[in-house]
Chain A
Amino acid sequence: MSTTLLTGSEAAALGAKLAKIEVLAYYPITPAFPAMERLNKFIEDGELRARFVRVECDHSALAAALGASLVGCRTFTVTNSQGLLYMTEVAYHVAGLRQPIVMAVANRALSAPHSRFPEQGDAISQGASGWIQLFCENNQEVLDNTLQAFKIAEKCHLPVMVNYEGYIQSHTLEEVTIPEQEQVDPFLPLVRRATLDVENPQAVNTVASPEFYQDYKYRQNEGMDLALQVIDQVAAEYAQGFGRNWSGLIETYRMDEAEQAIVAMGSMISEARVVVDALREQGKKVGLVKVRAWRPFPFQKLRDILEGVSLVTVLDKNIVFGLGGALATEVKSALYGFNETRINSYVLGLGGRDTRAEELTQVLNLSESMTEPQNTFEWFGM
């Protein structure tokens, strides 16, 4: 193992390289493109033996990855924002076909208005697509989650998105420890499952009648149920093999005897750790709950963790119009009917607006000072 400075883009590319992807397909977009270019460089330099399909659009990128996956190859793609929206039709289809494709998403705000800055709205838009979604708080986790994603995908027969934020992660150097290939290989053995195979002809995606369709969907959701266990197991196995423990579906930070909790995902987690430290210093019993897996959503775990906590402040770097923050909505539905916890929801940081420790502290102060139960959500930073 060696430790070096890497951007999130480089960490994602390196993760895919260490996973020995066999086919790569993508269509350029900002801020995901440095990860793409890095992968091509690995291929050109002979460090990665993968085929690159140079498609003409994002929609075809995921389609080409799908074709390769259907003949049994380990495949990878990268995108964000408009590219992800453009891929959406194929994304649902990939999940329905149970293909273990891994996609890195350098989260970026959606148009209109045009913005190239970070936000999680693109990933959130895929919440019903059937993809497992992991969020990363720093570049080390981008690399580690990319490796874990392949294992989770192949065990659950479901595709996985690895989310990291544009610029804040994709373009920022951080210290990252890189595992050795010899460590990765036994962690990620390639088990080939070719669906399209001339030696064993099968028909894929024949028209399903009402007698069949719902059963397929039931099975597909069972894959998500399985992922609730697999994500934890894979994180534990990774911790054992690589010495870094990302705790599976959810990680808690200083939640011992916590009366208050912050719940968030992605890059805000690193800042929230600083906030929690400062508040604990002041004697406040505040803790942090990091949702690492947004799909499948860890309802049960969250309930257990938030048992006895009186105030939960949920931070959402996304907006579902007419509804509010996506994470808060899920947290409320997880806790509904189980306990009396107050849940305050804040939407902040859209399109690159700051979400540093400073801002997060202000949000917590606002949340604490709220006397009436807050039933919808509040905007922060207007």
Chain B
Amino acid sequence: MSLRIEDLPQADLFGPGNASCRGCGAAIAGRQAMKALGSRTIVTIPASCMATLSGSNQKTAWQVPFYHTLFEIAPAVSSGIRAGLEAQGIKEVQVVSWAGDAGSADIGFQSLSGAAERNEDMIHVCYDNEMYMNTGGQMGSQTPLYAATSNTTLGKPTKKKNMLAIMEAHGIGYVASASIAYPLDLISKVRKAAAREGFSYIHILAPCYRGWNIPGDQTVEFARRAVECGLWELFEVEDGKRTRNYEPSFISVADYLLPQGRFKHITKEQVDSVQESVNRHYGRGRSEG
């Protein structure tokens, strides 16, 4: 039943020719997700790195219809797209809004919440690099506690807003977290969302090596460590039923945090408090079921 790499389509519907930095987590997420979505997909992407790297002038990195929207509106535009397709009786099209953490959790949150509440037949993907990279790396609600950004150089004083819990509270049919370091898990989740009717929300951890201040070839590695230390839990909530999809090995959070330049200023006490919050969340050894 579980998906294998060799079962995936060879064709890349997003990728070739895109203008991302080498080692861009967002572009990796896009490539993986398109393996599940297929060619009958209409993608809307609000202002973000992903929108910018997707095409300029007469070039595009998408093999499917792609629309670079205003910053706040991708879920609302996608709602209109679905309504327009239904009005014409056009079926079997995946309607996807694909936004960064600002386009999902901050400026884009109103239209995201609206579309979720209406249970629009679409998928919203938040690719989360935990900061505003397209404008140079400022903090946002998805920036974790203590992380330095271009406008919180001493570290962010407040916690990351829990978008997965917020989206789950909308009562939608499918909510899932994913990480670009676990492509098969990610792709199966997008597939699941695509097979369902109604609104699905997938939140993908997609590191940005520039913002995180790590080497460019370590994007996937840090997407893995985030999961293995327990800070980024891989789970899904399907029709209200919560499943943890992966048991982390519980490397220490220090192994995740300390090598990242954005946590350069973090104190030992702060690392300990993060470790404690992970321990508390997992009840270490106790399965949440």
Contacts and interface: CB of A to CB of B under 8 A. Distances in A.
Interface of A: 22-23, 25, 49-57, 59-61, 63-73, 75, 89-90, 93, 192, 196-198, 201-209, 211-212
Contact of B83 (A53, A93, A205, A206): A53
A60 B114 contact: yes
A93 B70 contact: yes
Contacts, number: 159
A221 B85 CA distance: 30
B135 to A, nearest CB: 14
A198 B41 contact: yes
A73 B88 contact: yes
Contact of B57 (A23, A49, A60, A212): A212
B164 interface: no
Contact of B117 (A56, A63, A69): A56
B83 A64 contact: yes
Interface stretch (B72-80, B238-246, B248-256): B72-80
Contacts of B83: 23, 25, 51-53, 64, 67-68, 73
Interface of B: 39-42, 44, 51-52, 54-60, 62-70, 72-73, 76-88, 90, 93, 110-111, 113-114, 117-118
A92 to B, nearest CB: 9
B56 A73 contact: no
Contacts of B64: 198, 201
A71 B55 contact: no
A196 B42 contact: yes
Contact of A204 (B59, B68, B86, B87): B68
Contacts of B56: 206-209
A90 B73 CA distance: 9
Contacts of B81: 67-68, 70-71, 196
A198 B114 CA distance: 25
13 contacts: A22-B88, A50-B87, A61-B76, A67-B44, A68-B83, A72-B84, A73-B84, A73-B88, A202-B60, A207-B55, A207-B56, A208-B57, A209-B57
A360 B82 CA distance: 50
A191 B74 CA distance: 26
B114 A203 contact: no
Contacts of A57: 110-111, 114
A105 to B, nearest CB: 20
A75 B76 CA distance: 14
Contacts of B63: 201
A73 B65 CA distance: 16
Contacts of A205: 67-69
Contacts of B90: 71
Across the A-B interface, the 9 shortest Cβ-Cβ residue pairs: A67-B80, A56-B114, A203-B60, A64-B80, A68-B84, A60-B76, A63-B73, A206-B55, A63-B76
B92 to A, nearest CB: 9
A36 to B, nearest CB: 16
Contacts of A72: 84, 88
- Most chain B CB within 10 A, of A69, A196, A211, A212, is at A196
Contacts of B51: 207
A127 to B, nearest CB: 20
A49 B87 CA distance: 8
A382 to B, nearest CB: 40
A196 B40 CA distance: 11
- Most chain A CB within 10 A, of B59, B63, B90, is at B90
A67 B72 CA distance: 13
A127 B57 CA distance: 28
A111 B247 CA distance: 55
A203 B87 contact: no
Nearest to B56: A207
A69 B41 CA distance: 17
Contact of B118 (A54, A73, A196): A54
A207 B118 CA distance: 31
- Most chain A CB within 10 A, of B62, B63, B76, is at B76
Contact of A198 (B58, B80, B82, B93): B93
Contacts of B118: 53-54
Contact of A201 (B62, B69, B77, B113): B62
Contact of B69 (A25, A63, A68): A63
Contact of A206 (B39, B68, B86): B68
Given A59-B72, A60-B111, A73-B87, A68 B65 contact: no
Given A23-B83, A23-B84, A198 B42 contact: yes
A64 B90 CA distance: 17
A237 to B, nearest CB: 27
A64 B77 CA distance: 4
Contacts of A198: 39-42, 64-65, 93
Contacts of B85: 71
Nearest to A211: B57
A25 B114 CA distance: 13
Contact of B70 (A75, A90, A192, A212): A90
B86 to A, nearest CB: 6
Given A201-B63, A206-B68, A207-B68, A66 B80 contact: yes
B88 A201 contact: no
Contacts of B66: 201, 203-204
Contacts of A56: 110-111, 113-114, 117
A202 B64 CA distance: 7
Contacts of B41: 198
A70 B55 contact: no
Nearest to A60: B76
A198 B96 CA distance: 13
A196 B67 contact: yes
Nearest to B19: A207
